[in-house]
Amino acid sequence: MKKFICEFIGTYFLVFAGTGAIVINDVGGGSITHVGIAITFGLIVLAMIYTIGDISGAHLNPAVTLGFFAARRFPAREVAPYILSQCAGAVVASLTLRFLFPSHQTLGCTLPAGTAGQSFVLEVILTFLLMFVILGVSTGAREKGITAGIAVGAVIALEAMFAGPICGASMNPARSLAPGVVSGHLEHLWVYLTAPVLGALLTVPFCMALRGRECCNGGCTDVKTDH
């Protein structure tokens, strides 16, 4: 249960801080700026990796959980509880923001600036890069290390900085699901539920082709002993 609670709390603060920065930027007349929003997303993920990474791995993202499972670093029996915990934490965060800012229309939900197809392709590529970095710097499904925290936080900030104005740079179904459902903006939600998962899953065979069994990085043994 500690792992599931950590995923709930970690995803809560990811959505609360990240989408909260978007909301406060709107309310405050652009005081945070787009760069500040991107850095906020990166910093909160970095902070959560350092705080709960040794307990749950600080996935904070259903696509990452599915990516770890596909790479045989994560037991099948924990996939659904992790994803449910992440989505629940995200929804509670969006409900908190709705309580604090009841007049805000979108609550920081991700909406394409161009076509849905353009955002879909961008989200696949962005999540591919994110998962590629995660598989490269982590040693298993659980991680607490200075390298992992800085690398993952930096790539999230980087991707949000350059792609955010077009597709929102979600890379995370839970991050998009919660504000979309709570604010009622469901029209493009399918993009942000499917594209990140596809991007994360595509990363695994690519990583295995480059690294061979090293792509599992010791995680295979952990998964076997968990069953």
Task: Provide Rg for the chain, Cα atoms.
Answer: 16
Res. 105 pLDDT band, cuts 50 70 90: very high
pLDDT at 226 over 80: no
d(CA 198, CA 154): 22
pLDDT at 182 over 90: yes
Reported as a single tens digit per residue, the pLDDT across 51-102 is: 999 899 999 999 999 999 999 999 999 999 999 999 999 999 999 999 999 9
Res. 174 pLDDT band, cuts 50 70 90: very high
Closest among 115, 202, 129, 128 to 167, alpha carbons compared: 115
Q: Count the helix, strand and coil residues of the chain and give each as a percent rounded to the nearest 5.
A: 75, 0, 25
| CATH placement of domain 2-99+107-226 | 1.20.1080.10
* Angle in degrees, CA 213, 223, 7, rounded to 5: 115
User: Could you count the other beta carbons within 10 Å of the beta carbon of residue 208?
Assistant: 17
Sequence-separated contacts (24+) of 177-180 with Cβ below 8 Å: 177/87, 177/90, 177/91, 178/15, 178/19, 178/87, 178/90, 178/91, 178/93, 178/94, 179/15, 179/19, 179/94, 179/97, 179/106, 179/107, 179/108, 179/109, 179/110, 180/109, 180/110
The pLDDT score that the predictor gives to residue 227 is 31
205's tokens: 């065979």
Reported as a single tens digit per residue, the pLDDT across 108-117 is: 999 999 999 9
The pLDDT score that the predictor gives to residue 157 is 98
78's tokens: 């924990």
Res. 139 pLDDT band, cuts 50 70 90: low
Residue with tokens 């090293």: 214
The pLDDT score that the predictor gives to residue 1 is 87
